[in-house]
Chain A
Amino acid sequence: MMSDDLIPTPFDAADLDHLRRLEALEAYDILDTAPEPEFDDIVLIASTVCCTPVSLVSLVETDRQWFKARIGFEACETPIAQSVCSHALTMNELLIIPDLTADVRTRDNTLVTEAPHIRFYAGAPLVVPDGTVIGTLCVIDIVPRPQGLDDNQRKVLQALSRQVVALMETRRVSQRKDELFQRQKRLAASIRSSANKTVAAQKAGRIGTFEIDIATSMIRGSDEFCRIFDIAPADLIPTSQLEALIVPEDRHIHSNAATRRDARAATEVEYRIQTANRGIRWISRHASYEHDASGKPITMFGMVQDITTSKREAARVQALLDLGDRLRDLDDVESMALAASDLMAKALDASRAGFGIVDPIAETVMMQPEWRAPGVSSLVGLHHFRDYGSYIDELKAGQTVIVTDVVNDPRTADKAQALIDIGIRVLVNLPIFDHGQFNLVVFVHHDRPHDWTSQEIALVRSFGDRMHLAIARLQAEADQDMLNREIGHRLKNTFAMVQAIASQTLRPIVEQEHVRNFERRLHALSSAHDSLLSQDGDGADIGAVLRRTADTLGVLERIDAIGPAISFGPRSTLSVSLLFHELMTNAIKYGALSEPGGRVVVEWQAVAKGDDSVLTLRWTERGGPPVVEPERSGFGSKLIKRGFMGTGGVTQSYSSLGYSVEMTAALSQLQRAN
């Protein structure tokens, strides 16, 4: 079986011959079948008449030659590199090579250079009715034969080769009869959709060939071509009939009479068609032009392949990847339901998809604005589940409902007409439970029968699982948020208690300024906890910490904060908040912020150093009074001297321009969780 990546591009006439040969071999369905006496008789006659020890009916595939009948030769197939027959495919006459060791085409062949050391070859091509050569009837000797074959031997070998093809034709017709009979039997049993799937799977991947006469816009397609387009086999078809099958969104991709006339139409395209019985199919088409003597294109020829299976596979994988991304970013159940239905619709070629809000007691669903294929009606509004079947029971139990055909499914068969009337032939319902309550249903509809594969059903179920996980995550996040708030509440009360105790304890102290400083530090710590809690306990951004501290002290407008978003771990957030608090309090008391025009510029950046990054923060005060280093150092200046991590990395400067300080610390240290 060919896969996309084996199809050679660009495409030339030799490739076309090759593809026609493969298609013919496939049509005869003969490769790898058991020996049959009719064919064995032919090789026996050939070897007897030609007086050779070996005779073969050799069929040439892409990478091997396979022998339907053989005499005097052990293997039932050889790799294509060992095939002498492949050289006979390009001619309609006998190929005779008197001495294989003397011929450039064969002297390096391992059947010649090694055992069985063949020396003489004569092969008659097997030409099927449409002119395609599919292999040879050949005779082989292990001694050279300078004289080749005589006239009678030649005639017999050619007559026998025609006999081989005639046998294959007979065989095909009788097989076709069998196949039709089998197919009829299968159709009778088609209620079981599994049979449909088998047929679909067998047909997928096959190649059809075609030729378009550009002047008349008539197309000649092979049988497989007609099967792929799901149309009755016919000798000549107007291209307009096929172009009408292409889905509206893809019409611009396909060629038309005008784009073919000047060879403008792309030679390699993929598009979708709406088939009569097999739903939407993806087609890959490779084509070439044949030009007349004046260079005008006269024929477009090439091949088509049904690539629906691989397209859908890719779409499914993509849909699951996209779903992961979308669900991660969303934080409400309805947006999640909308995203899921949208992605499912695309992956399943649906005609309608969306979600509805369910009332499980009343058994109703309020359908929300949905995604629809062109020409499909909307179902927005209130619907009663029981009007459409009994599957509500399964939805309530949390099970995903997949009705592959509403006409046949026992859950919907009685109400099939009601469903068909609103454009539902295939129905997928995914119940969504939020806080243990069934309150949303995600749906995907097809308005005509759809070949369901087990992978597609798996996709729907996997969507269901992912949705449940995502909703569970939302709930866990909400719980975490509540817990954070509770912790925050207790912490605040504890701070308030500490404040109360301190104010009572420090009551006798005459110098209220000390009490006041203590209270302010407590506030700085408390607001740092606010930063942490509002960020889900993952630490806080340096700019946010700076601004919050400035805001608490009423100097936000006078601080210029310049630097990238860098977050700290929770522990560093607390100590850095206190540090900022001390720097700002000093600026307010003695530095730039003690005068109306003074400002503070705070700049920071992280620079990679080895495996780590180093954070450098520069605090520059301007527009205040000249400053000198204080003689006595209190709690505040001690804290500043110790820097970010309490271990230094601090350069302070006092000058007539004002105070400035530079602090550095390893980012990994600052970002540690504890």
Chain B
Amino acid sequence: MTQSPPAAKEIVLVVEDEPLLRMMAADIVERAGFEVVEATDAEEAVHILETRTDIRIVFTDIDMPGSMNGMRLAAAIRDRWPPIDIIITSGHFRAGELHLPGRSVFFAKPYDSVALTATLQQMAAQRH
């Protein structure tokens, strides 16, 4: 592993229906050294993933309106875009109650920004 920063910033897709929370998540992701793409629900997220190939990490809430929640989104990503790492967050569920897809990490809301930053950076580091 080298200490030099990657040539281009990795791209993280933040999926969160609540604007304030999306704003904060985007903030944390940016401060961690990533570029942010935002989606307000799972459908929009799938649409983005279908149209661009440069997303490396998806950070999604579970409880969102629409036909697909964050858990189903995560399963779809694991199935259709296997290389993407996934971070899941929820205020409703606790870690032990969820069946998480492979290569995914869970954060209970309110999440610890320091730990979240560390996880994002770890995921990025494993790719190089």
Q: How far is the CA of A519 from the CA of B23 in the complex (A)?
A: 16
Number of B residues contacting the other chain (C-beta, 8 Å)? 18
Among candidates A489, A492, A503, A523, residue contacting B24 with C-beta atoms closer than 8 Å: A503
Stretch from B76-84, B107-115, B119-127 contacting the other chain: B107-115
Within 8 A of A (CB), among B5-24: 18, 20-21, 23-24
B23 lies within 8 A of A496 (CB):
no
B91 lies within 8 A of A496 (CB):
yes
Closest to A502 in B: B24
B109 surroundings in chain A (CB, below 8 A):
492-493, 495-496
B27 lies within 8 A of A503 (CB):
yes
With contact pairs A493-B91, A500-B20 given, residues A522 and B27 touching in the complex (Cβ less than 8 Å): no
Within 8 A of A (CB), among B86-116: 91-92, 94, 108-114
Q: How far is the CA of A105 from the CA of B27 in the complex (A)?
A: 110
Closest to A516 in B: B114
B21 lies within 8 A of A497 (CB):
yes
Interface string of A484-508 (1 = CB under 8 A from B): 0100111111011111110110010
Q: How far is the CA of A496 from the CA of B111 in the complex (A)?
A: 7
B91 surroundings in chain A (CB, below 8 A):
488-493, 495-496
Q: How far is the CA of A495 from the CA of B20 in the complex (A)?
A: 12
Is A351 in contact with chain B by the CB < 8 A criterion?
A: no
A503 lies within 8 A of B21 (CB):
no
A493 surroundings in chain B (CB, below 8 A):
18, 91, 109
Shortest beta-carbon distance, B40 to chain A, in Å?
Answer: 15
Q: How far is the CA of A483 from the CA of B31 in the complex (A)?
A: 37
A516 surroundings in chain B (CB, below 8 A):
114
A492 lies within 8 A of B92 (CB):
yes
Interface string of B55-68 (1 = CB under 8 A from A): 00000000100000
B110 lies within 8 A of A496 (CB):
yes
A501 surroundings in chain B (CB, below 8 A):
20
A522 surroundings in chain B (CB, below 8 A):
110
Is A531 in contact with chain B by the CB < 8 A criterion?
A: no
Shortest beta-carbon distance, A489 to chain B, in Å?
Answer: 4
Within 8 A of A (CB), among B25-47: 27-28
Number of A residues contacting the other chain (C-beta, 8 Å)? 24
With contact pairs A493-B91, A496-B91 given, residues A504 and B110 touching in the complex (Cβ less than 8 Å): no
Q: How far is the CA of A523 from the CA of B28 in the complex (A)?
A: 16
Is A404 in contact with chain B by the CB < 8 A criterion?
A: no
Q: How far is the CA of A526 from the CA of B107 in the complex (A)?
A: 13
B63 surroundings in chain A (CB, below 8 A):
489
Closest to B115 in A: A554
Among candidates A495, A498, A500, residue contacting B23 with C-beta atoms closer than 8 Å: A500
A499 lies within 8 A of B110 (CB):
yes
With contact pairs A492-B91, A493-B91, A496-B91 given, residues A523 and B112 touching in the complex (Cβ less than 8 Å): yes
Interface residues of B (CB under 8 A from A): 18, 20-21, 23-24, 27-28, 63, 91-92, 94, 108-114
Interface residues of A (CB under 8 A from B): 485, 488-493, 495-501, 503-504, 507, 516, 519-520, 522-523, 526, 530
Given pairs A499-B110, A503-B113, 12 additional interface contacts (CB within 8 A): A491-B91, A492-B91, A492-B109, A492-B110, A493-B18, A495-B91, A498-B110, A501-B20, A503-B27, A503-B28, A507-B27, A520-B112
Instruction: Supply 7 A–B pairs (Cβ within 8 Å), ascending by A.
Output: A492-B91, A492-B92, A496-B110, A501-B20, A503-B28, A504-B20, A522-B110
